[in-house]
Amino acid sequence: MQIIRTEKLEKIYNDNGVPVHALKGIDLEIAKGDFMVIAGPSGSGKTTLLNLMGALDKPTEGNIFIENEDISTKSKKELSEFRLKNLGFVFQAYNLIPVLTALENIEFSMMLLGINEEERQDKALALMKELEIDELANKRPNEMSGGQQQRVAVTRAIVNNPSVVLADEPTANLDSETGAKLLDLMQKMNKEKNITFIFSSHDSQVIERAKRLLILKDGKIVEEK
């Protein structure tokens, strides 16, 4: 079952008068349960593609369908709602709200969905236990290591049962051992819950674990494995 489909995706940035052609016709289908890595040199368009698939940005040309819904026709508010219900995000760093504890950070996305406090807490704690990070529950981000923060971020990303989790270089700030632990966790979620993961990464250990690997160069797919 396909979860994301792009058609002739083009992205041209035109911020400072000089147009930058970041994506040049991306045609792509991603199946449910995939564990896909987008690799490629710096500036090749990985983040741009991920942002489009994450409904954070709109393409200049072409269409993008997530769960068969055309993203390019949605308003900002609808996109926000769509992301909340269907997508999870893990960024390179600073994912968490510094003044909230790990547990509260995870609860936060459920709060945005309007889930009541009791249910939120139960569910967040249960998931933290399952992912073996429950000892972090009452810690604030500044009391956690980078790897711990990223694991909390992954937990937050999956707590609302999204169809897809998008992670832009999630291991870039971690050493290889902590990176591996984070990947273990995501792989486990992929296997057990059939959550689709899409990464961008330069990291060889991320690339090694990919079910599917996409290599971008100059805004085009140059290789697929």
Partner 1 sequence: MLLTLAWRNIWRNKRRSLIVMISIVVGVMMVFFTNGFMNGMLFQMLKNQISSSVSHILIHKKGFNDNKVIQSYIPDPELVEGAIKEQTGIKNYSKKLISFGLLSSASNSSGVFLNGVNPIEEKDVTKIKESIIEGTYLTENKRDLVIGKKLAEKLEVGIGDKVVAMANTPDGSIGSEMFRIVGIYKTFSSEFDKIYIYANKQITQEMLEVENKEYEFSIICEDYQQADIIKEQIKNQLPDEYEVLSYVDLLPMIIFQIDMSKQWMWILNIIVGVALIFGIINTMLMSVYERIQEIGVLMSIGMKNGKIISMITLEAFILGVTGTIGGIIFSLLVMWPFYNSGINLAVFSDGLNSFGIGAVIYPVLNINDFAATLIILPIVSVLAALYPAYKAIKLEPIYAVRYV
Ligand X SMILES: Nc1ncnc2c1ncn2[C@@H]1O[C@H](COP(=O)(O)OP(=O)(O)OP(=O)(O)O)[C@@H](O)[C@H]1O
**Given the complex with Mg ion, which of 47 and 86 has the nearer CB atom?**
47
If one asks whether residue 43 binds ligand X (CB under 6 A), the answer comes out as: yes
Q: How far is the CB of 117 from partner 1 (least distance, A)?
A: 8
Q: How far is the CB of 200 from ligand X (least distance, A)?
A: 6
If one asks whether residue 89 binds partner 1 (CB under 8 A), the answer comes out as: yes
Interface pick for ligand X out of 6, 44, 155, 171 (rule CB under 6 A):
44
**Alpha carbon distance 53, 59 (integer Å):** 10
Q: Give one DSSP letter per residue of 120-152, joined into a string.
A: HHHHHHHHHHHTT-GGGTT--GGGS-HHHHHHH
**Alpha carbon distance 34, 3 (integer Å):** 9
Contact 200, 168 (CB under 8 A): yes
Contact 109, 160 (CB under 8 A): yes
If one asks whether residue 171 binds Mg ion (CB under 5 A), the answer comes out as: no
Q: How far is the CB of 75 from ligand X (least distance, A)?
A: 21
Site for ligand X in 87-146 (CB under 6 A): none
**Alpha carbon distance 89, 151 (integer Å):** 12
If one asks whether residue 147 binds ligand X (CB under 6 A), the answer comes out as: no
Site of interaction with Mg ion (CB under 5 A): 47
Site of interaction with ligand X (CB under 6 A): 13, 15, 20, 22, 40, 42-48
